[in-house]
Amino acid sequence: MRAVVVTTFGGPEAVEVVETVVPEPAARQVRIKVAAAALNPVDAGARSGVFGGDGERIGLGWDVAGTVDATDAGSAWSVGDEVVALHHGPVKPLGTHAEYVVVDTDAVAKAPAGVDAVHAATLPLNALAAVQALDQLELTPERSLLVTGAAGAVGGYAVQLAAHRGISVTGMAREADEEFVRSLGAAHFTTGDGGGFDAVLDAAILGAAALERVRDGGAYVGVIPGTAPASVRGIRVAELGVVADGARLAELAALVEEGVLTLRVAGTYPLDEAAKAHARLAEGGMRGRIVLVP
């Protein structure tokens, strides 16, 4: 089968499509025939060596939508089930940017009904990151929340999820994105002014600049490990280490079916053009995710 890997760190030119063996599921695992797999900034980080793994073959891809192809004997999943899953880990020999991938059973959820695989593939990583970050903030409906990078993939899901919980959300993004961010459910919009929020979900990784907008004793969560600023003024500071969670992913898929969450695709590329997809990702300026299709 074909799989996207890097064997030397670098830019988009480092991306390779190689032939490799089809993986076999072990106990409490399933094999998924990949229909679509989103490309995320974390893949660019793995490609460029941010997470280490020098000298190893690193498989790219965290998100997957596809069909169960093989399971262990006691699995709750059956061959032919349409699913989505998060294949966690920045340094792994085989990712979801492949024709087949093996993932843990408890990382898998039923794909949202009425949604094509390309759109479904944009759900797992970014929506799980958003909901797990919100959980860390422990906000009740009467509290106020600032989401930085509100027009982005994680930020957009965070706005929608927080608004669904009844939280007063202010979205921070570029001025040109105001109408879009408000359409996601943000009650207020800012390009950077204002403060006094009960909490900030820092999807744009602004760090200390975002922390300044939190009231004394409030809460801050950054979505990339190792980037959170030091606590000041009694603010509780945390950073997200997203984890695979099939049960939670199933809840998010249900919210897609209910129209609470919007799945956004910026474009698609064939698996064989993965390097071109990485080059497009590096250009930025997209709403939604690029998706690779085997």
Domain assignment present for residue 257? The answer is no
CATH number at residue 134: 3.40.50.720
For residue 136 the two structure tokens come to 């860390």
136-147 confidence digits (pLDDT tens) = 999 999 899 999
Within-domain flag for 250: no
Instruction: Give the CATH number of the domain where residue 11 resides.
Output: 3.90.180.10
Q: Within a 13 Å sphere around the CA of 28, how many CA atoms are in the beta-carbon half?
A: 4
Q: What is the pLDDT of residues 154-207, one digit of tens each?
A: 999 999 999 999 999 999 999 999 999 999 999 999 999 889 999 999 999 999
Domain count, the chain: 2
Identify the three-state secondary structure at position 33. Answer: strand
> Quick one: 6 and 45 in the same domain?
yes
Q: Give the Cα separation of 174 and 180 in Å (integer).
A: 10
**Which domain does 12 fall in, by range?**
2-123+263-293
Q: Which one, of 129, 137, 140, 138, lies nearest residue 165 by Cα?
A: 140
The two tokens of residue 147 are 């989401």
Q: What pLDDT, on the 0 to 100 scale, is given for residue 193?
A: 87
Q: How far apart are CA 97 and CA 253, in angstroms?
A: 21
Whether residue 223 lies inside any domain: the answer is yes
Rounded to whole angstroms, the Cα distance separating 102 from 88 reads 11
pLDDT score, position 125: 98
Q: Which residue has the tokens 């403060």?
A: 195
222, pLDDT greater than 80 = yes
CA–CA distance, 238 with 230 (Å, rounded to integer): 10
Residue 19: inside a domain, yes or no?
A: yes
Q: Rounded to whole angstroms, how far apart are CA atoms 290 and 292?
A: 7
Closest CA to 81 of 23, 22, 35: 35
Pairing of strands 289-293, 265-270: parallel
Whether residue 63 has pLDDT greater than 80: yes
pLDDT band of residue 29 (cuts 50, 70, 90) is very high
pLDDT > 70 in the chain, percent: 100
Same domain, 130 and 118: no
- Altogether, the residues listed in the chain come to a count of 294
Q: What is the mean pLDDT of residues 209-230?
A: 95
Widest CA span in the chain? 56
Say if residues 256 and 109 touch (Cβ distance below 8 Å).
no
Could you tell me which residues come within 8 angstroms of residue 192 by beta carbon, excluding any fewer than 6 positions away?
A: 172
Same domain, 90 and 188: no
Q: Using pLDDT thresholds of 50, 70 and 90, give the confidence band for residue 285.
A: confident
pLDDT above 90 for 73: no
> Which helix (H) or strand (E) is 96 found in, with range?
none
Residue 72 predicted with pLDDT over 90 = no
58 shares its domain with 138: no
Average of per-residue pLDDT values in the chain: 96
Q: Is this structure's pTM higher than 0.85? A: yes
Question: What is the mean predicted confidence (pLDDT) over 20-42?
Answer: 97
* pLDDT value of residue 97: 98
d(C-alpha 253, C-alpha 12), whole Å: 31
Q: Would you say residue 115 has pLDDT above 80?
A: yes
What is the structure's pLDDT at 74? 76
pLDDT score recorded for residue 113: 98
Residues 9 and 112 in one domain: yes
